[in-house]
Amino acid sequence: MRHLIFKICLGLGSVLLTVPVSFATVGGKSYIELLGYEAKDQKLYLLKHDEDASGRLPQLYYFDFKSAQPEQLIEVKSIYPRTKTGEIDYFSDGTDVPFERELKKITRRLKKLYPINPNIFKINVEKEETLQVPAWADPEKTMPEYRYDYTVEDSPYKSTSQQAVSYAPKLTIKQAFRIPKQDRMVVTVEYLGFPDETMYTNEDAIILSK
């Protein structure tokens, strides 16, 4: 299988940030905020923000480096309010004090990550498929959809195989950090993930290990 190696470069101007998800119902980019590392439990926490005007609270996730699958993202559900039926209520009604309070309990015990230059990383595309799908603005027309299987590396660090569906033929490293007390790094990959009229970006968090 032919491997394509993409040289990574930072975009100019404001940084657009974005993890594997579905289309936003109301236009808005999706981006990642890396919160920090909890040394005791060996967990790396992050928030996924959706700027889609739906009022959805940021989603809290972590990577558990003690687990058998340290590269797998795990969702935290315990800090979110519940509806009367007991279901999780992810949508803000303007009274987010309990959520913010529980989030602060977590963030105050986290260690900062060490930023590194995203330009040192390479994206290795293992498989690329281009499909023609119905266009967002006019279902009678089609638009290209790019499906990628890829890894990220900066030798000797490398990720497991990742997947992305983009509406432009481009994957870009946006953030990169070393993790304290871990022989691992975390990067984020941005791509055009939402095929609406403004073409919003999405962002995935990826762990690199030796």
The mean pLDDT value for 191-209 works out to 89
Q: How confident is the model at residue 199 (pLDDT cuts 50, 70, 90)?
A: confident
Q: Where are the domains of the chain?
A: 4-209
pTM over 0.85: no
pLDDT digits (tens, 9 = 90+) for 156-176: 999 999 999 999 999 999 999
Checking if the pLDDT of 3 tops 80, the result is: no
Question: Can you tell me the distance from the alpha carbon of 126 to that of 124, in angstroms, rounded to the nearest whole number?
Answer: 6
The mean pLDDT value for 140-163 works out to 97
Nearest partner of 172 among 155, 150, 197, judged by Cα: 150
The bridge status of strand 200-209 relative to strand 184-194 is antiparallel
CA 178 to chain centre: 17
Question: Can you tell me the distance from the alpha carbon of 171 to that of 194, in angstroms, rounded to the nearest whole number?
Answer: 14
Answer with the residue of higher pLDDT: 5 or 39. Answer: 39
Checking if the pLDDT of 205 tops 50, the result is: yes
Q: For the chain, give the number of residues.
A: 210
Question: Can you tell me the distance from the alpha carbon of 145 to that of 130, in angstroms, rounded to the nearest whole number?
Answer: 6
Specify the pLDDT at position 78: 85
Tell me if 159 sits within 8 A of 71, measured CB to CB: yes
Checking if the pLDDT of 119 tops 70, the result is: yes
Residue 28 C-beta-side C-alpha neighbours within 13 Å: 14
Checking if the pLDDT of 96 tops 90, the result is: no
Return the sign of the alpha-carbon dihedral for residues 76, 196, 129, 133: positive
Q: Output the CA angle 33-100-106, nearest 5 degrees.
A: 65
Specify the pLDDT at position 144: 95
Residue 62 neighbours by CB distance under 10 Å:
19
Q: How confident is the model at residue 81 (pLDDT cuts 50, 70, 90)?
A: confident
Residue 207 C-beta-side C-alpha neighbours within 13 Å: 20
